[in-house]
Structure formats: C-alpha cells, structure tokens
C-alpha cells in the first residue's frame, strides 16, 4: 500500500481501525472502548496547533468533554455494552504502580461488549472522573497537576458513589495498598449497592492487615513466621527484647524484617539488626506516616520466595479457587555483586528492570512443594473468603527451621517431605502491569492479557442478578484435548506479518525490552496483523558450542512465544528460552500446565461466557540473524525495530534489512548512522545557525585516556576548551539515558572515571558534588565519551506548596529563557512533521534518570507546554525548526529530538536525535500522540508507524 505524504496520518484509521478500536466517539474522552469507533489519525497541521497549544483552551475543552462523556449512553438500556468503572490511584505510596496497572488493564479489556469509564482517587482521597487519555500520564504528580483542568472532580466520595451507581454496571478497583485493598473502596461500593470485581470489604480488611492475616492463617492451621507488632512510638523495648530471645535471636544483631502492616506488599520493607535498630526503623515508618502498625518478623535464612495467583472459577457465589503455576523469585541473579547482603524482594526489584532478581514459572521446586503451594493457596483463598482473584506470597524452606518447627497440634498445613511452606502476604488486588505475575502465570496456562482480565470481570458479574444479561455468550466450543493443550485458531488468511525486534546488548536493552513488549501487545490486537516478538541476543549469547563470533550475521535472534516475553530483563528472557527448549524442564512445565488447565476447565466450561484458552504452548525458535532476516523476507514481514542503541540505531540492522528487501520502521541507514554519533549529528547541523538551529560544542575523549591520564589536567583542558566550568558527560555512541551526568569539578570527573574503570552498573544518588538521583551506567562501559558545556536552563518545579495547599503548583523562574524539551517527529522522508513538544519536570538533579524517561511512576510531562512558559508564536517556530532538523538529517518514519529551546524566539539548540525512541507504556511519545487532535492512542500510533514502514521504498 502506498500512502500519500499529505494524507498518511489522516487516512490511516479509516482503513486500519481495529476491531477493538481505542479512541473517541462524538468528542468523548472518557472510556471509548468497545463502542467500535472509526478514529482518524490526524494530518498534523499547524492550523490546529495554535488552538491545541493554548493551555487554557485545551484544558477547558478537555474538562468539558469529560463532563459530556459522563452523560453518554445513560439512556441506552437495551443491547448496550457492559459499563465498567476503572478506579486507580489512591492514598498509598503504591499509587504509582496503581496507575501502571490501570493503564495495562485499559489496554487489554477491549471488545465490543465493554465500555470503560476511568476514575482517579488522589492522595487526599478526592475522586475525579478522568479521560482514558489521561491514564497514560506517568505519575500521581502528573495526574495531580492536570486534574484541575482535565478532570471532573467530585465534591465528596458520596457524590462519587452516586455517580458510579448511575453510570456504571460494575467497578474494577485497581488501587493498590490503602483504600484499595484494606476494604475502604469496597465498603463504599457495598453501601451504594454497586457490584465490583474482587473481595468484599470485611474480608479485605482482615487479609490486608499482615498481622491480622498471620493470626488468621495460624488459626486455620498454616505455618507462619513468628512476628511482633509495633504499635505507637512508645513501644516497650523490653517486650521486643523478650520476643527476640524467645525466637533465638541475638538482641544486638539478630536479623528481622520490618514492614508496615497495612501498606501493601512492597513499600517500607527493610532488614533490621537487633532490638534498637528494629525499633528505630519501625518508629521511622510510624513517624513518616507510612503506617501506625508495623510488623517485625524473623528473617528466614536459606529460603526462597514464591508468589501464586489464585483464580476463582466457581459458579455464582460458590467458590472454586484454582492456583495457577506459581513463580519462584530468585535474588542475586547471576551472582551479581551489586546486590547488598541480606537482599529482600523490595519495591525496586519488583517493579524496575534489574539483574538482581529473576523469576521462574513454574518454580524449580520439588513436585510435592509445588503441589503444596497450589493446594495451600487455594485453601487460603477459600478460608479467607476471597473472591475472583488474588495473589498469595510465601517462602519455601528446604531445610527444617527450628523457628517454624512447632509442636503445636493445630499446625496442619505447610510441612512436606522436601521442606516447609509458609505463606506471608495476601494481595487482594495483584499488580497488573504488562509483565506482572498475574499475566506471567496466566499466559503459562493459556490466557492472554485480555482473556484473563475478561474472565475475572465476567466471574464478578455472576454475583449480581442484574448483570446476568451482560454475561457473554460462549463461542463455538473446542474439544477438551484442544483446550487442554492451549491450541488456538490461527489468524485468518491475508494477515500481514510483523516481527517486533528488541533486546540487544547495549546499556538500554532493558528499556528496549519494555518498548518492544509494549509495541507487540498493542499491535497484536489488530485482527489483520500477525505479530511475533523477537529478541536479539548478545553477540556471544547462547551460540552453538564451538562457534565463534564472525560479525553481525552470527548474532542470535529468538522468535518468542507469548509467555516467554513477559519478563523484566533480556537476560531473564534468554534464560526462559533456554528453559523452554531444555527437554526435562520443558516436559515438566508442560505436565504442570496440563494439570492446571484441566482444573480450570472443570470450572470454566460451566460458564457460557468462557470460549477457551487463547495462548498456545509453543517453544521459542532460535535463528542466526541472517536466517531471521531471510525468514522475514519469505513471509513478507515488516520489521518493527525497538532496539535502542547498538545495531538497532547505528544503521547496521537497517542495512541488512534493506539488502534483503525487508521493510522496517524508522529512519534509513545514513540517517541512523549519523544520529547515533552525537558528534556527527552536530556537524551535520552546524550550518543551520542562521535558521535558528544551534549545536553544542563537544570534545571526545576515550575511556583509556581518562583511566590512564592525569584527571586534573584533563579537567583543566576540557573546561578551557569548552569555555565552561560545569560539564555534561555522556557516551559518544550509546543511547540517550545511561551514563549521562553533570560534572562540576575535577573530583566529579574522578568519581565518574572510577565508575568506568570498575564497570559499575550505577552511581548511587548524590555521588557527585551536585545533588542527583541514581545514574545508570552503560554496561559494558563506552570506549568513547563526549564532554560538552552543561547548559543551564530555567528550573521548573512542581509542588503542593501554594496558597491553597490542596492544589498543585507549578513554578518557573524564567531567568535564562531556555528550557529543555523533547519532540517526536513522524512522517515520510522530507516531509516529517513535529508532534507537540513536551517539557519534562525532573524530580531530582539536573539530568533525567532512566526511570524518569521510561518507567511509569516517575516524572511530570507538560504536554502541550503551558502557555505561561512557552508563548504560542515561539512554540510554532520551535516546531518548524524541529521539522527542519528532521528533514535535514533525512529522518523518516518516526524519531525523537531532544533540545534546549528559547521560549521567546523558539531557537532550538540540539542535544541529540534518537532514531529508535523509547516506546514504553508511559513514554513521552505516547503523551504527544495523545495531544494530537483527534487523539492517537498507543495502538493507533504504533499502527501508523507500521504503515509508514510498509510504504517506504526498500
């Protein structure tokens, strides 16, 4: 298909809108799912951008559209879709994860039979109706800043529940921690008579409190870890000392785990040593307001943590819980020395890409242990009165523990021939990010993201007589053997094949995994596409024995099945591939999978809405890169490149694909090669000063020179040559997110060089003289580094410290008149058009962290820029210059340009150009696409990029 340059974006959705389209209908912003709209991706026009970038006009319009959407479909009582209210946020420290979960749920509960309305509860317990577009904001702070203008706020929780009772049929709470899992939101909904997904309020209250849950577990005959409750700052140290002694712990150095009793599963958990340290850490949690009840538990050495999802498949109110395949949580993966002593599975390890943890589903435990975990989790689910689904965490101890070896005759569950099982945490609303345990375990037994979420919602509907008419009709049944084996019907003939490639070996490989996973999950929802996720392994990763590296064509590419993709790191994906093709391990996994699927089918086949599993149990396939490209050529696939850095951005992969006639996304060979080299980029644009495009002077030094030379002398040379006392250092040929630091003195250069010398994975916060957050370092260290003057921009801060303490406040001094922006560009070569630039407010330091750029839960993006900061005329000049830069560099498809901009005249000082920008669920490009008119939701945005790739000349 050939796309006319002038109508590439405008025409896209009229032809390629997906069956389960995401977008807006009749101007509605809230929850456009399941109304099967035809959405046009806009031709990006400067005529509209004048209105679009008027902050007041834009936000007023958006708020009005939210109000309008609240009234939609209220009069349609016959043949209307099930109306689901998705509620996220909450007052706990886990609300950032709640937003990530809600974004994932919104992406996947799509079909003609559901209509989703979105709601957000802020940290002050105020409820707001928000647009589906706003769900893609990064953080609670991002939400809070925009709420006044973009949302409809309710005066009270009572008004909120009255609205829900009139506007939705069932609520899906996706609030983690307080208010979401402690029974708070459930009690409000129960009082208003509103059906909801998940466990009831009383049962939530009991199970959420870790101390109460422990008491309840012991009462039901389960092994428990000895614990002590700290309540109030005047806790008697004598009693805690007695507890230490009774549990054979040294009162001075005995190890314990300190965690809030009611703050979720990840927040505030730490290891303490001795009575004094324990009291200090417990009282700190209380004084900081994390919780007024703190649980102290014996630290169990020699154990392995596990987590298990339990799914209720019973009819109506009859509980029939089935535990999916549990996951083993392995810490200190690959013997990584970067893991501290007595490491625990904390917030960072659970939610951010790290080599410090790896997951194995099913666990590498003896069969009697796995059976005990599954049986015990289901029994707990039933005895605690849980509903629909939950996640239950615990420990497997292969060696008998004297602490747990109780003679109590009431202990009936947890002892096996191979060791002890102890359950510790009940999670009433499991995390639902794209690669969460829920989706990892569900995919292992045949459920896609949308299938498991749909199953949970449909099961919740069974409890309400009024919702019986919305329970879906069962489609054509499959044989029991087919369903057990997870076979699925192939896509219809004529589907276009897409290979999404990610991974590699650069320092941004984990971000690449997140980007590729997000692209794959979004594109696979189109019925006319057959999308295959593919991992580029490291250059020496799992090559056949005896083979030697002979250039890029010997690189290994893995074609991945659904369940193998859902991991946090590329190393983990590779390990999962090896596990999947190892005969003994593969056979054992298949055996467990069949057992669980049989149990699920015994319950699910009784429901008319269940139409079977939709994920096959296929093994991964390994190719040499040359073979993989030949395969793409043979099946006429388009390659969607999500490789950050390395051969994905330097033109190498593009050259190989072009040589075989395989279409691909993003810029071509020469543009990629130029933009990957930051010095070459500056040289290519150096002549554009008269056009208002500036470049930054640079000096390139080798790692060897830094390590082997006098650093004071090098510092003096650099500051003199670059005419700046403060420098910015970054890798010369790596991505845009690692190894970037501000250096203010020669001592900072010494710290940075030492990190290169020792190949440190990161610089801890405030390692340099100027305050900063964690700086992720390239691994392996770069051979060449760029030094350039650090450009001072006006500081933009966000806080609640204003005249009204309950309203967010944005402050900007505006002294230098320069700000930092990032802007996506999209289109055909020579006709690239700029999306709305974004101003990103840093949370700490002067350099955006890897997490602030790509990980949901951090950062504030001002998209479009507020008119109080960026005048409309200057903004339009900025966009014109961004487009001029893109076209001068020969960009095509899509890219991202980072720059400093003068807010008065729109002059652009180029920082760097990224030809394969981040495509994670919360990346700034998503925000910019959603700021277009009409909005481009993620799957439409990625589809547009795919169509641009198919239209290029190869």
pLDDT at 772 over 60: yes
**What is the reported pLDDT for 861?**
74
Least confident of 320-329, 464-473, 818-827: 464-473
- Which tokens in the block code for residue 385? 């009165």
SS3 83: strand
- Residue 815: pLDDT band (50, 70, 90) is confident
Q: What are the phi and psi torsion angles at 146 (to 5°)?
A: -95, -5
- Residue 780: pLDDT band (50, 70, 90) is confident
SS3 374: helix
Task: Give the dihedral of Cα atoms 293, 297, 303, 305; nearest 10 deg.
Answer: -10
In angstroms, the CA 25 to CA 35 distance is: 8
pLDDT at 454 over 80: yes
pLDDT at 890 over 70: yes
- Looking at per-residue confidence, does 291 or 163 come out higher? 163
In angstroms, the CA 395 to CA 384 distance is: 19
**What is the reported pLDDT for 1?**
36
**What is the reported pLDDT for 70?**
55
Under the phi-then-psi rule, with left for phi > 0, alpha for psi from -120 to 50, and beta for the rest, what region is 294? beta
- Looking at per-residue confidence, does 954 or 529 come out higher? 529
Instruction: Give me the mean pLDDT over the 604-618 stretch.
Output: 90
How far is the first Cα of the chain from the last one, in angstroms, to the nearest whole number? 13
SS3 455: helix
**What is the reported pLDDT for 499?**
98
Q: Give CA 677 to chain center in angstroms.
A: 29
**What is the reported pLDDT for 249?**
94
The string of pLDDT tens digits covering residues 208-225 is: 999 999 999 988 889 888
Least confident of 201-205, 539-543, 621-625: 539-543
Least confident of 330-334, 695-699, 710-714, 798-802: 798-802
**What is the reported pLDDT for 402?**
59
CB atoms within 10 A of CB 147: 20
pLDDT at 841 over 90: no
Nearest to 938 by CA among 104, 52, 55: 104
**DSSP element (H, E) containing 728:** strand 727-731
In angstroms, the CA 924 to CA 837 distance is: 9
Please state, in angstroms and as integers, the Cα–Cα distance from residue 368 to each residue in 207, 309, 364, 372, 584, following that order.
Answer: 26, 18, 11, 6, 17
pLDDT at 432 over 70: yes
In angstroms, the CA 146 to CA 828 distance is: 33
**What is the reported pLDDT for 670?**
97
Residue 500 near residue 771, CB atoms below 8 Å? no
- Residue 159: pLDDT band (50, 70, 90) is very high
The string of pLDDT tens digits covering residues 251-267 is: 999 999 999 988 766 67
pLDDT at 481 over 70: no
**What is the reported pLDDT for 59?**
43
Q: What are the phi and psi torsion angles at 242 (to 5°)?
A: -65, -40
- Looking at per-residue confidence, does 814 or 49 come out higher? 814
The string of pLDDT tens digits covering residues 327-383 is: 999 875 444 444 444 455 444 444 454 556 788 999 999 999 999 999 999 999 999
The string of pLDDT tens digits covering residues 229-249 is: 998 766 778 999 999 999 999
pLDDT at 310 over 80: yes
Q: What are the phi and psi torsion angles at 376 (to 5°)?
A: -65, -40
Q: What percent of the chain has pLDDT over 70?
A: 79
The string of pLDDT tens digits covering residues 392-413 is: 999 999 976 656 644 554 667 8
**What is the reported pLDDT for 934?**
86
Instruction: Give me the mean pLDDT over the 737-754 stretch.
Output: 91
**What is the reported pLDDT for 307?**
96
Which domains, from first to last, does the chain contain? Answer: 78-198 (3.40.50.20), 226-299 (3.30.1490.20), 308-428+435-477+582-617 (3.30.470.20), 676-695+794-915 (3.30.470.20), 703-785 (3.30.1490)
**What is the reported pLDDT for 952?**
76
- Looking at per-residue confidence, does 486 or 579 come out higher? 579
**What is the reported pLDDT for 112?**
72
Nearest to 929 by CA among 521, 522, 649: 522
Under the phi-then-psi rule, with left for phi > 0, alpha for psi from -120 to 50, and beta for the rest, what region is 199? beta
pLDDT at 73 over 70: no
pLDDT at 29 over 60: no
Residue 513 near residue 570, CB atoms below 8 Å? yes
Q: What is the mean pLDDT of the chain?
A: 82
Task: Give the dihedral of Cα atoms 764, 766, 767, 772; nearest 10 deg.
Answer: 80
- Residue 129: pLDDT band (50, 70, 90) is very high
Rg (CA), the chain: 28
Residue 197 near residue 101, CB atoms below 8 Å? no
The DSSP secondary structure of 574-612, one letter per residue, reads: HHHHHHHHSHHHHHHHHHHHHHHHHHHHHHHTTSTT---
Query: How many helices and strands, by DSSP H and E, does the chain display?
Result: 31, 36
258 burial via Cβ count (<10 Å: 0-12, 13-18, 19+) = buried
- Looking at per-residue confidence, does 505 or 56 come out higher? 505
Instruction: Give me the mean pLDDT over the 703-726 stretch.
Output: 95
Which of the residue ranges 17-31, 140-154, 540-554, 764-778 has the most confident prediction, judged by mean pLDDT? 764-778
**What is the reported pLDDT for 856?**
46
- Which tokens in the block code for residue 160? 């909120």
**What is the reported pLDDT for 473?**
45
In angstroms, the CA 773 to CA 566 distance is: 28
- Which tokens in the block code for residue 765? 């916060």
SS3 230: strand
Instruction: Give me the mean pLDDT over the 481-489 stretch.
Output: 40
pLDDT at 428 over 70: yes
**What is the reported pLDDT for 9?**
43
- Looking at per-residue confidence, does 916 or 484 come out higher? 916
In angstroms, the CA 306 to CA 917 distance is: 35
Q: What share of the chain is helix, strand, coil (3-state, %, to 5)?
A: 35, 20, 45
Instruction: Give me the mean pLDDT over the 611-637 stretch.
Output: 94
Residue 165 near residue 194, CB atoms below 8 Å? yes
In angstroms, the CA 785 to CA 182 distance is: 51
**What is the reported pLDDT for 799?**
61
The string of pLDDT tens digits covering residues 290-303 is: 888 999 999 888 88
In angstroms, the CA 175 to CA 177 distance is: 7
Interacting residues of 941 by C-beta distance below 8 A, sequence separation 6+: 41, 925, 926, 929
- Residue 12: pLDDT band (50, 70, 90) is very low
Residue 362 near residue 585, CB atoms below 8 Å? no
Instruction: Give me the mean pLDDT over the 774-803 stretch.
Output: 78
pLDDT at 911 over 50: yes
- Residue 652: pLDDT band (50, 70, 90) is very high
In angstroms, the CA 280 to CA 894 distance is: 52
């Amino acid at each position: 298909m050939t796309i006319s340059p002038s109508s590439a974006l405008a025409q896209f959705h009229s032809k390629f809108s997906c069956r389960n389209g995401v977008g807006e209908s009749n101007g509605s912003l809230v929850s456009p799912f399941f109304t099967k709209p035809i959405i046009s991706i806009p031709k990006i026009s400067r005529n509209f951008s004048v209105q679009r970038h008027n902050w007041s006009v834009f936000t007023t319009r958006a708020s009005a559209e939210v109000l309008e959407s609240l009234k939609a479909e209220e009069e349609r009582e016959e043949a209307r879709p099930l109306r689901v209210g998705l509620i996220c946020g909450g007052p706990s420290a886990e609300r950032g994860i709640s937003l990530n979960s809600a974004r994932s749920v919104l992406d996947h509960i799509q079909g003609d039979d559901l209509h989703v309305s979105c709601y957000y509860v802020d940290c002050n317990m105020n409820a707001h109706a928000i647009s589906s577009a706003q769900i893609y904001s990064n953080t609670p702070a991002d939400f809070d800043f925009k709420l006044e203008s973009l949302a409809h706020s309710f005066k009270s929780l009572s008004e909120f529940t009255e609205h829900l009772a009139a506007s939705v049929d069932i609520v899906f709470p996706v609030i983690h921690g307080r208010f979401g899992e402690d029974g708070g939101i459930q009690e409000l909904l129960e009082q208003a008579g509103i059906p909801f997904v998940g466990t009831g309020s009383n049962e939530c209250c009991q199970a959420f409190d870790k101390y109460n849950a422990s008491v309840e577990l012991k009462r039901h005959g389960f092994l428990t870890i000895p614990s002590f409750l700290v309540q109030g700052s005047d806790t008697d140290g004598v009693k805690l000392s007695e507890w230490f002694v009774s549990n054979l712990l040294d009162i001075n150095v005995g190890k314990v785990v300190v965690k809030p009793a009611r703050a979720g599963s990840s927040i505030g958990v730490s290891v303490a040593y001795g009575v004094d340290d324990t009291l200090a850490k417990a009282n700190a949690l209380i004084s900081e307001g994390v919780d007024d009840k703190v649980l102290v538990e014996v630290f169990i050495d020699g154990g392995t943590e596990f987590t298990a999802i339990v799914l209720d498949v019973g009819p109506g109110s009859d509980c029939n819980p089935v535990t999916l395949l549990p996951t083993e949580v392995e810490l200190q993966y690959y013997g990584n020395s970067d893991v501290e002593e007595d490491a625990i599975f904390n917030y960072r390890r659970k939610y951010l890409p790290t080599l410090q943890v790896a997951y194995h589903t099913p666990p590498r435990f003896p069969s009697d242990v796995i059976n005990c975990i599954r049986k015990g989790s289901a029994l707990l689910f039933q005895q605690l009165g849980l509903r629909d689904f939950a996640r239950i965490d615990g420990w497997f101890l292969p060696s008998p523990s004297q602490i747990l070896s109780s003679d109590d005759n009431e202990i009936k569950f947890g002892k096996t021939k191979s060791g002890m099982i102890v359950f510790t945490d009940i999670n009433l609303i499991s995390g639902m990010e794209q690669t969460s345990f829920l989706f990892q375990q569900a995919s292992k037994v045949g459920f896609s993201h949308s299938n498991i979420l749909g199953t949970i919602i449909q099961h919740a509907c069974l409890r309400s007589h009024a919702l019986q008419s919305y329970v879906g009709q069962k489609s054509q049944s499959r044989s029991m053997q087919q369903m057990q084996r997870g076979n699925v019907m192939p896509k219809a003939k004529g589907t276009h094949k897409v290979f999404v490639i990610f991974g590699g070996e650069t320092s941004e490989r984990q971000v690449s995994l997140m980007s590729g996973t997000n692209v794959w999950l979004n594109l696979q929802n189109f019925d006319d596409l057959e999308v295959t996720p593919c991992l580029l392994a490291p250059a020496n990763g799992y090559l056949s024995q005896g083979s030697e590296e002979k250039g890029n064509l010997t690189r290994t590419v893995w074609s991945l099945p659904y369940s193998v993709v859902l991991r946090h790191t590329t190393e983990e994906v590779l390990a999962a591939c090896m596990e999947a093709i190892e005969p003994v391990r593969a056979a054992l996994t298949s055996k467990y999978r069949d057992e669980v699927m049989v149990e699920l089918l015994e319950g699910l086949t009784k429901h008319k809405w269940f139409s079977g599993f939709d994920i096959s149990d296929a093994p991964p396939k390994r190719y040499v890169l040359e073979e993989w490209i030949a395969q793409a050529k043979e099946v006429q696939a388009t390659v969607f490149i999500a490789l950050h850095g390395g051969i994905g951005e330097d033109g190498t992969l593009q050259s190989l694909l072009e040589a075989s006639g395989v279409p691909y996304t993003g810029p071509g060979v020469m543009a990629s090669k130029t933009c990957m080299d930051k010095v070459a980029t500056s040289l290519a644009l150096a002549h554009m000063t008269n056009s208002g495009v500036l470049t930054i002077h640079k000096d390139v030094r080798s790692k060897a020179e830094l390590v082997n030379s006098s650093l004071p002398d090098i510092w003096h040379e650099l500051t003199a040559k670059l005419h700046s006392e403060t420098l910015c250092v970054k890798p010369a040929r790596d991505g845009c997110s690692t190894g970037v630091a501000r250096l203010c003195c020669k001592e900072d250069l010494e710290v940075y060089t030492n990190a290169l010398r020792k190949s440190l994975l990161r610089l801890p916060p405030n390692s340099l003289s100027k305050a900063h957050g964690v700086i992720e370092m390239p691994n392996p260290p770069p051979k060449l580094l760029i030094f350039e003057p650090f450009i001072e921009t006006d500081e933009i801060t966000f806080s609640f410290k204003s005249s009204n303490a309950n309203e967010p406040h944005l402050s900007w001094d505006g002294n230098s008149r320069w700000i930092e922006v990032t802007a996506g560009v999209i289109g055909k070569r020579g006709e690239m058009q700029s999306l709305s630039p974004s101003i990103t407010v840093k949370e700490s330091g002067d350099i955006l962290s890897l997490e602030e750029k790509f990980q949901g839960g951090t950062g504030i993006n001002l998209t479009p820029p507020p008119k109080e900061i960026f005048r409309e005329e200057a903004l339009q000049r900025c966009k014109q210059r961004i487009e001029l830069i893109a076209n001068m560099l020969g960009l095509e498809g899509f890219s991202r340009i980072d720059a400093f901009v003068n807010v008065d005249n729109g002059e652009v000082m180029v920082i760097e150009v990224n030809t394969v920008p981040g495509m994670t669920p919360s990346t700034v490009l998503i925000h910019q696409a959603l700021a277009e008119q009409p909005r481009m939701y993620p799957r439409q945005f990625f589809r547009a990029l795919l169509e641009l790739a198919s239209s290029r000349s190869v």
